């Protein structure tokens, strides 16, 4: 059976993704009974099946853009292999954590924690914290990292799996080992859950290097893309500091949690302009860290999905619709208890 055929079966969407669910069950079962080296070899085999050549192509393309086409083919392939190795190691870790039904303690998990004082200062304001991060390093376990340093009231906005049964299994596993999340569909459909969470002084982790089909146009690695306006919108409205944070994997297999000072927001009184400028600032921060740790950037999504001409056409169609018109209640009005109970017509993501 050809590898690309198997990959297509595993990648099938919907409730009939039987092989995909079977692979997950097999990996989790093996983590309970096999020695680490044997389990690592088995996962390495399945990773070659699970990572479709289309995703490798996207990964190569994104790295070429990141390095401005300065890499030779050999250097590019080495970078791709390094990223896939990190990705595989993350799967191995998660499988073993699930088998043990717990994540590592502080000394086993951390190599270093940098900038904890910035999070403490932001958290003590009592307005919630927006944790700005990317698909970089150990992003899946960043809530565990925060809990270990004394901030258990945290959650990551997570994209659901296409297969509902696989998503149900992932939810069970995440709950078993204490990874906390808010479904992305919930975040996209209404801002109420996010607002409530931040008002409870929660730390909301947002993976802001994702692909979006609308939102705010920003420049990212020299090209234009759409970015979510949610982080800027929520921060401007609720006063929640935006704190960059990254869980970087070290050579010894442990993690270095890097927390940076809050990003200062621009507030000119023009909501549309302020959201644009602040979202660009957030994007610049993410780019700077991705450039610092390119071998840990899981760049499997085609972020630059529009040409300059297509972007111009889209912007022309939306010329009469400003962000202020679309989300005026979120930016300028007070949230009442009735708002929170009944729901707001707002899509921050």
pLDDT digits (tens, 9 = 90+) for 169-214: 666 666 666 677 787 766 665 578 899 999 999 999 999 988 776 7
Element (H, E) at 249: strand 242-249
Categorize the per-residue pLDDT at 250 as very low, low, confident or very high, splitting at 50, 70 and 90.
very high
Distance CA 299, CA 63 (A): 8
Question: Higher model confidence: residue 305 or residue 345?
Answer: 305
Residue 195 in domain? yes
Is pTM, for the whole model, over 0.85? no
Neighbours of 233 (CB within 10 A): 27
Residues 31 and 116 in one domain: no
Q: Compute the average pLDDT of residues 226-244.
A: 94
Q: Which of 100, 125, 160 is the last residue of a domain?
A: 100
Considering the domain boundaries, does residue 307 fall inside one? yes
User: Bigger pLDDT: 349 or 113?
Assistant: 113
213 and 271 fall within a common domain: yes
With CA atoms as reference, report the closest residue to 228 among 76, 346, 110. 346
Residue 298: is its pLDDT beyond 70?
Answer: yes
Instruction: Name the band, by pLDDT with cuts 50, 70 and 90, for residue 247.
Output: very high
- Same domain for 92 and 113? no
In a domain, 23, yes or no: yes
Distance CA 121, CA 262 (A): 9
> Quick check: is 347 in a domain?
no
Kindly report which listed range (128-142, 256-270, 323-337) carries the lowest average pLDDT score.
323-337
Instruction: Tally the domains of the chain.
Output: 2
Taking residues 327-335, report their average pLDDT.
40
Res. 282: pLDDT tops 70: yes
Angle at 73 between CA 69 and CA 78, to 5 degrees: 105
The number of C-alpha atoms within 13 Å of 111 and in the hemisphere containing its C-beta is 12
Question: What DSSP designation does 291 have?
Answer: H
Of 72, 100, 128, the residue at which a domain comes to its end is 100
- When pLDDT is averaged across residues 65-81 and rounded to a whole number, the result is 91
Owner of token pair 């079977």: 22
The 3-state DSSP class for residue 129 equals strand
Residue 348 domain flag: no
Does residue 308 fall inside a structural domain? yes
User: Residue 135 pLDDT > 90, yes or no?
Assistant: yes
Q: Structural domain of residue 216, as residue ranges?
A: 106-342
More confident residue, 329 or 28: 28
Q: Angle of helix 230-238 relative to helix 192-199, nearest 10 degrees? A: 50
253 and 174 together in one domain = yes
pLDDT digits (tens, 9 = 90+) for 23-59: 666 666 666 666 766 766 776 666 666 665 667 888 8
Per-residue pLDDT averaged across 271-293, rounded? 95
For the chain, give the mean pLDDT.
78
CA distance 246 to 135: 9
**Cβ 176 vs Cβ 96: under 8 Å:** no
Same domain as 270, residue 186 = yes
Q: Is the pLDDT of residue 329 over 50?
A: no
Tell me, yes or no, whether 173 and 288 share the same domain.
yes
The domain spanning residue 281 has which CATH number? 3.40.1130
Task: Say if residue 42 is in the same domain as residue 115.
Answer: no
Q: 324 and 189 share a domain? A: yes
Domain end, chosen from 81, 100, 119, is at 100
Q: Is residue 349 part of a domain?
A: no
Q: Could you tell me if 130 and 94 lie in one domain?
A: no
In a domain, 8, yes or no: yes
């Amino acid at each position: 059976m050809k590898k690309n055929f198997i990959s297509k079966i595993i990648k099938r969407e919907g409730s009939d993704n039987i092989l995909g669910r079977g692979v997950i069950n097999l990996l989790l079962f093996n983590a309970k009974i096999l020695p680490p080296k044997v389990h690592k070899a088995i996962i390495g085999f399945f990773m070659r099946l699970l990572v479709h050549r289309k995703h490798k192509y996207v990964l190569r393309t994104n790295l070429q853009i990141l390095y401005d086409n300065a890499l030779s083919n050999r250097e590019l392939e080495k970078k791709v292999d390094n990223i896939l190795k990190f990705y595989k190691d993350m799967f191995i870790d998660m499988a073993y954590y699930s088998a043990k039904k717990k994540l590592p303690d502080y000394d086993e998990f951390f190599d270093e924690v940098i900038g904890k004082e910035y999070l403490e200062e932001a958290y003590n304001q009592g307005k919630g914290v927006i944790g700005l991060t990317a698909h970089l390093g150990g992003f899946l376990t960043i809530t565990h990292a925060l809990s270990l340093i004394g901030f258990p009231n945290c959650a990551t906005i997570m994209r659901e799996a296409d297969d509902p049964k696989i998503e149900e299994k992932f939810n069970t596993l995440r709950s078993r080992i204490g990874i906390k999340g808010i479904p992305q569909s919930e975040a996209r459909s209404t801002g109420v859950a996010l607002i409530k969470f931040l008002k409870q002084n929660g730390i909301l982790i947002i993976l802001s290097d994702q692909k979006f089909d609308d939102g705010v146009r920003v420049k990212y690695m020299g090209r234009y893309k759409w970015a979510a306006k949610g982080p800027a919108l929520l921060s401007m409205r609720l006063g929640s500091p935006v704190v960059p944070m990254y869980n970087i994997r070290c050579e010894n297999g442990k993690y270095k949690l890097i927390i940076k000072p809050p990003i200062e927001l621009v507030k000119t009184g023009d909501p549309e302009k302020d959201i644009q400028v602040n979202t660009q600032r957030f994007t610049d921060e993410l780019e700077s860290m991705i450039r610092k740790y390119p071998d840990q950037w899981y760049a499997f999504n085609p972020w630059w999905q529009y040409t300059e001409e297509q972007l111009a056409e889209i912007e022309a169609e939306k010329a009469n619709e400003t962000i202020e018109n679309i989300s005026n209640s979120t930016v300028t009005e007070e949230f009442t208890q009735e708002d929170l109970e009944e729901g707001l017509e707002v899509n921050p993501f």
